[in-house]
Structure 1
Amino acid sequence: MTMTFIIVYVVIALILVGLVNLFMSKRKRKMKTQRTEQTLSENDTSHQSYQSKFNIRDTDETSEANDANAISEENGKLNISNNSDETEALTSDQNAVTQHEESHTQEEEINEKLKQKHSAFMFGKGTSQGKVLIAMIFGMFIAILNQTLLNVALPKINTDFNISANTGQWLMTGFMLVNGILIPISAFLFNKYSYRKLFLVAMTLFTLGSLVCGISGSFTIMMVGRVLQAIGAGILMPLGTNVFMTIFPPEKRGAAMGTLGIAMILAPAIGPTLSGYIVENYHWNIMFYGMFIIGLISLAIAYIWFRVYQVTTNPKADIPGIIFSTIGFGSLLYGFSEAGNNSWTAPSVVITLLLGVVFIVAFVIRELTMRVPMLNLEVLKYSGFTLTTIINMIVTMSLFGGMILLPLYLQNLRGFTPLQSGLLLLPGALIMGFMGPIAGRLLDTIGIKPLALIGTGIMTYATWELTKLNMNTTYSHLMVIYIIRSFGMSFIMMPIMTAGMNSLPQRLISHGNALSNTLRQLAGSIGTALLVTVMSTQTTQYVSTYSQDLDKTNPFIKDRLQEMAQAMGGEQMATQKILEFVQKLASINGVNSAFLVATALSALAFILSLFLRGKEHYISKE
């Protein structure tokens, strides 16, 4: 079943990428022909202008030469021979040659500027950076919100469709796999198609997928809708970063990316709260109808305001590279997901992880040997990008794991409802959304190192506080700790990513963006699998330890058991109650152990932040 699903997803993803590629290529050929004619016309005009200058210059030089010949004839008639005159004539000739060479150099420089001008982005009529920013944030917010809405609603969906929890989990896993397949090839898509086309196509697919999910009456139809949503979201997520890195200069990217962080940070936190409210009061399909309506509004805004055009190249699709990437990253993501749900030693986990490693190695070898790679790994040569990406991965591991552990503690161990659990996380998310633009402006002003040290320091402290959970930890105390943790994360999440992108030249930003997003997604899966595994393992060990301590021959235990049996009407009920209490106590200690690992990850990110360099190191000079 597992391998069949993986194969089906690989085939579906490749077919859909091919169809999108075919659909957009038709329009691209027409647009490319028009741009080529326009470019040739402008270049001809420019060359005619330059040529007319050179013709004038050549005429002047011819006149000077004729004058010089006339003077030479006169001097010959008068039999005048003067060494100084010959020297001046020679100097004049050298100056003429130098001027001619300088004119050619100037022509080459202007031609290069023309190429840069034609390859740069352009805003459409009535469009500005602010309007593009709003359109982009609006689209990305709904796409990211979709990823967390389903978590709370999944048990209800499983019941309505009469499917097992493992089968229903594919609505989440499948979405993640399609994202993992598309993000690594996003650099190829950005070079082949304009940002505007990609955004409109991605939002159309996402909106259509939302409608399919809303009207679905079976798991199969629901799965089709989720795949369509995942394709749209898989393009939108890296597209947002790439657009902002293109339309904003390096000194303003921090504030712009901080504003984008409102969508990327606020949406995942609002999702569980909103989903919990809808599931408790309405049918779950209301969520998807809502996303469909908002998707239509986003498409309308984008059609009017999202008018960013850039001259694109026409790279050929690297089919072997796409296949290697699809199987490699898809297998790794699935393997880590299953490791968190089951066991690291399960055959499906071992096979898919090994398969992923083999195909990732094959993908890397192919990209390194390609003349025009689909994903240019040259980005790793830039130390500013590499170190910030590593720190970002470690922070993401700690963040994603924590986002899984806290709801488990609140709902499974403390009995809070999904809505209460979501409301506890909401203030922290609002703090991160509010602080995003502020942290971005600080990045533009003082650089990444102070922000990273402050952010990872606060995050490490707050995560350490979460290792002290017990059965009596108050709701308000948890909320305060999570707010502090979120405040610290606001200084590190978007700024560290922006600093890494800033250190790359413009030609490599799309490749760095694709690699960074792919590694962050892998890090999130690894972090979740790691912390959930620690929690499960430690819980089992604590249960074993506590069970040994519950010796019925112990006089104290015997007396307490008898008292509980009298109060509850039987020794069996008392024993069951004690075992439930032991299981809860062991689970809480397991959660604390997992948060201890998350604290270690945050501390590692803090140590690595000490090696970050000054502000200028993260602004590309190329």
Structure 2
Amino acid sequence: MSTQIQVKNPKTMAFILMLGAFIGLFGETALNMALTNIMEEFSVKPATAQWLTTGYLLVLAILVPVTALLMKWFTTRQLVIGGLIISLLGTILAGLSPSFVILLFGRIVQALGTGLILPVMMTVVLLIFPISKRGVVMGLMGLVITLAPALGPTLSGVIISSIGWHFIFWISAIFYVLLTLFAVAKITNVSEITKPSIDIMSILLSTIGFGGLIFSLATMAEEAFSSPVVWIPLLVGMIALVLFGNRQMKMAQPMINLRVFKYPMFTLGTLMMFLGIIIILSSAILLPLYLKGALLFSAAVAGLLLLPGNAVNVILSPIVGSLFDKKGPRILVILGSIIIVIGNLIFASTISATTPTWQIIVAFIVLFFGLTMVMMPSQTNGLNQLPRKLYADGSAAMNTLNQVAGAAGTAIAITVFTAGQSGYLIDFPDAPQQEVLAAGVKYAFYFTTGISIVGLICSFFVKKSNEVKEISPTPMKATEPVRL
């Protein structure tokens, strides 16, 4: 039996959702190029300024799993239109911000809207297109997930240099207004409203768990691991996540059905996505630092140098989607994983304060050539194995871990980058600042190379999956939720 739900304008619905998600994910990294400007304008330190990115990721990681529950309480129209309006309000606040506190608050409000749209996008696309056509559509969705954060530094660099960082938000606001009008006219309801009981304890454990984990990872970039401000949130977060997972497995109506991880290709696909997002977000923060700080390019030029790699992603995504429909995921994922390793090795072996620009461009193109071949097939193949009733849970689980991966990638990359600089200064105490910064970035790419090798090993276990009947859970005593 087909799992497709017939709607009047499936392509238009998909376009509205994807563009809304694109603007939100673009916002994850859009301020990376502007942090120095913001630090100067509002007189804040780097440790404070980084929360404009980390806080965004933190809100997404907390809200996305809750959205899986909201999708069973509110209609598709309500969530999409509500998410776009909330995002619009956040961008207006950030654009008008007279102080750093208002700017950060605006970012958090925008992240709330994005956190509603992301899981809805993935679930709706799975519902309104037949499984035989999902490759091309999911290729476009994969393009959104990978291109938006990667393109953030490129577009924002041009905007910052020409008209100022405030216009990053005003341009986004224009798109949100247009999308909201389109959504009112074109979005139809496809989700099933069951209004399950709301388990307050699950929401609290999820919030504390993901919040503590990301806060710890972000703080690690500035503080030693032995510092209480790092290890206490990490420990509390891990305990909360264990308790959250245990509670979900015992509940008759869990907030997120973690039984999605009993489907092996979904678990493997989620892991491949997780590793890919770490590499994308790491490079999105390392390369602007390197191009501006070591090679001394302006924000606009640094952004434009990353454009060819992003262009490869745009061109290749629909092609990969079509090949996925015809050939399946295995050959694409294995070949792409090999190319990702090569791209990281080029970075790790060539980066210096005097590296020719063309080598950085080529390495970035190679890296995104491989990432495009891996991300969409892994995601689609994993979700294809789930029965229809688990689409919302699967997309929520995958999106949540993607945000954790983004925060982890950013935080660990900066931590390794700092350690690399310190190590280089020990050996060469009189080295120029450009050489020190380049050495730190090179050291951080050793980390991403290691991540890519793990992804390559995982790729050999990928095989084509088709939708299967739900795996019967092991009978357990249900935990009675707190009803509202």
Q: Same fold (TM over 0.5)?
A: yes
Do the aligned partners of residues 530 and 146 (structure 1) sit closer, same or farther apart at CA in structure 2, a change above 3 Å counting? closer
1:17-38 residue CA offsets vs partner (Å, 9 max, x unmatched): xxxxxxxxxxxxxxxxxxxxxx
State the match for 1:479 in structure 2: 361
1:595 aligned onto 2:414: no
1:239-265 residue CA offsets vs partner (Å, 9 max, x unmatched): 211111111122211111111233333
Larger deviation, residues 513-522 vs 258-267: 258-267
Contact 1:257 1:440 in 2 (8 A): yes
Q: Distance in 2 between matches of 1:344 and 1:525?
A: 16
1:224 is matched with which residue: 71, 81, 105? 105
1:418 is matched with which residue: 299, 311, 315? 299
Deviation at 1:386, TM superposition (A): 1.1
State the match for 2:336 in structure 1: 455
State the match for 2:479 in structure 1: none
State the match for 1:355 in structure 2: 236
Q: Distance in 1 between matches of 2:332 and 2:33?
A: 34
State the match for 1:62 in structure 2: none
Aligned letter for 1:213? Answer: A
Contact 1:265 1:433 in 2 (8 A): no
Q: Distance in 1 between matches of 2:75 and 2:421?
A: 51
State the match for 1:557 in structure 2: none
Query: TM-score of the superposition, structure 1-length normalised?
Result: 0.72
State the match for 2:260 in structure 1: 379
State the match for 1:153 in structure 2: 34
1:187 aligned onto 2:68: yes
The runs of 5 or more residues in structure 1 that have no matched partner are 1-112, 548-578
Do the aligned partners of residues 471 and 226 (structure 1) sit closer, same or farther apart at CA in structure 2, a change above 3 Å counting? closer
Query: Aligned residues: percent identity?
Result: 35
Deviation at 1:134, TM superposition (A): 1.8
State the match for 1:619 in structure 2: 467
Instruction: Say which SS state the counterpart of residue 458 (structure 2) adopts.
Output: helix
Aligned letter for 2:453? Answer: A
Q: Distance in 2 between matches of 1:536 and 1:166?
A: 13
State the match for 1:560 in structure 2: none
Deviation at 1:451, TM superposition (A): 0.7
Larger deviation, residues 472-481 vs 451-460: 472-481
Contact 1:382 1:503 in 2 (8 A): yes
1:528 aligned onto 2:378: no
Q: Which has the larger radius of gyration?
A: 1
Deviation at 1:393, TM superposition (A): 1.8
User: Which structure would you say has the larger RCO, counting Cα contacts within 8 Å and 6 or more residues apart?
Assistant: 2
Do the aligned partners of residues 177 and 432 (structure 1) sit closer, same or farther apart at CA in structure 2, a change above 3 Å counting? same
Instruction: Say which SS state the counterpart of residue 492 (structure 1) adopts.
Output: helix
2:422 is matched with which residue: 528, 536, 540? 540
- What is the number of equivalent residue pairs in this alignment? 469
Q: Distance in 2 between matches of 1:542 and 1:434?
A: 39
Map residues 265-280 of structure 1 onto 2, 5 A cutoff.
Answer: 265-280=146-161
Q: Distance in 2 between matches of 1:167 and 1:593?
A: 24
Map residues 275-354 of structure 1 onto 2, 5 A cutoff.
Answer: 275-354=156-235
1:515 aligned onto 2:431: no
Contact 1:269 1:422 in 2 (8 A): no
Deviation at 1:349, TM superposition (A): 0.8
Q: Distance in 2 between matches of 1:452 and 1:227?
A: 35
Map residues 390-405 of structure 1 onto 2, 5 A cutoff.
Answer: 390-405=271-286
Deviation at 1:586, TM superposition (A): 4.2
State the match for 2:387 in structure 1: 505
Q: Distance in 2 between matches of 1:587 and 1:391?
A: 30
Q: Alignment RMSD, CA only?
A: 2.1
Aligned letter for 2:354? Answer: N
Deviation at 1:309, TM superposition (A): 3.3
State the match for 1:243 in structure 2: 124
1:80-132 residue CA offsets vs partner (Å, 9 max, x unmatched): xxxxxxxxxxxxxxxxxxxxxxxxxxxxxxxxx9xx99xx8452xxx321111
Deviation at 1:294, TM superposition (A): 1.4
Instruction: Say which SS state the counterpart of residue 260 (structure 1) adopts.
Output: helix
State the match for 2:316 in structure 1: 435
Contact 2:159 2:300 in 1 (8 A): no
1:417-464 residue CA offsets vs partner (Å, 9 max, x unmatched): 121111111111111122111111111111111111111011111110
Deviation at 1:496, TM superposition (A): 0.6
Do the aligned partners of residues 152 and 589 (structure 1) sit closer, same or farther apart at CA in structure 2, a change above 3 Å counting? closer
Do the aligned partners of residues 276 and 538 (structure 1) sit closer, same or farther apart at CA in structure 2, a change above 3 Å counting? closer
Question: Hey, which of these two has a bigger chunk of helix by percent?
Answer: 1
Aligned letter for 1:368? Answer: M
Instruction: Say which SS state the counterpart of residue 192 (structure 1) adopts.
Output: coil
Deviation at 1:621, TM superposition (A): 4.8
Deviation at 1:181, TM superposition (A): 0.9
1:365-418 residue CA offsets vs partner (Å, 9 max, x unmatched): 211111111111111111111122222222322332222222222111121112
1:128-162 residue CA offsets vs partner (Å, 9 max, x unmatched): 21111222222222222222222222332333334
Map residues 198-237 of structure 1 onto 2, 5 A cutoff.
Answer: 198-237=79-118
Q: Distance in 1 between matches of 2:36 and 2:462?
A: 44
Contact 1:122 1:310 in 2 (8 A): no
Q: Distance in 2 between matches of 1:193 and 1:474?
A: 53
Contact 1:384 1:618 in 2 (8 A): no
1:129 aligned onto 2:10: yes
1:607 aligned onto 2:444: no
Instruction: Say which SS state the counterpart of residue 12 (structure 2) adopts.
Output: helix
Contact 2:61 2:401 in 1 (8 A): no
Do the aligned partners of residues 327 and 190 (structure 1) sit closer, same or farther apart at CA in structure 2, a change above 3 Å counting? same
Deviation at 1:300, TM superposition (A): 0.9
Instruction: Say which SS state the counterpart of residue 427 (structure 2) adopts.
Output: helix
Contact 1:261 1:433 in 2 (8 A): no
Deviation at 1:270, TM superposition (A): 3.1
Contact 1:272 1:419 in 2 (8 A): no
Larger deviation, residues 527-536 vs 502-511: 527-536
1:142-196 residue CA offsets vs partner (Å, 9 max, x unmatched): 2222222222223323333343433333332222221111011221111222222
State the match for 1:93 in structure 2: none
Deviation at 1:211, TM superposition (A): 1.3
Q: Distance in 2 between matches of 1:374 and 1:182?
A: 12
Larger deviation, residues 525-534 vs 246-255: 525-534
2:143 is matched with which residue: 259, 262, 266? 262
Aligned letter for 1:528? Answer: T
Instruction: Say which SS state the counterpart of residue 30 (structure 2) adopts.
Output: helix
Aligned letter for 1:269? Answer: A
Deviation at 1:363, TM superposition (A): 0.8
Aligned letter for 1:506? Answer: R
Do the aligned partners of residues 281 and 473 (structure 1) sit closer, same or farther apart at CA in structure 2, a change above 3 Å counting? same
Contact 2:87 2:110 in 1 (8 A): yes
Contact 1:121 1:308 in 2 (8 A): no
The runs of 5 or more residues in structure 2 that have no matched partner are 471-484
Deviation at 1:488, TM superposition (A): 1.2
1:279-317 residue CA offsets vs partner (Å, 9 max, x unmatched): 223243222222222111011111112223343111122
Q: Distance in 1 between matches of 2:410 and 2:419?
A: 14
Q: Distance in 2 between matches of 1:366 and 1:186?
A: 18
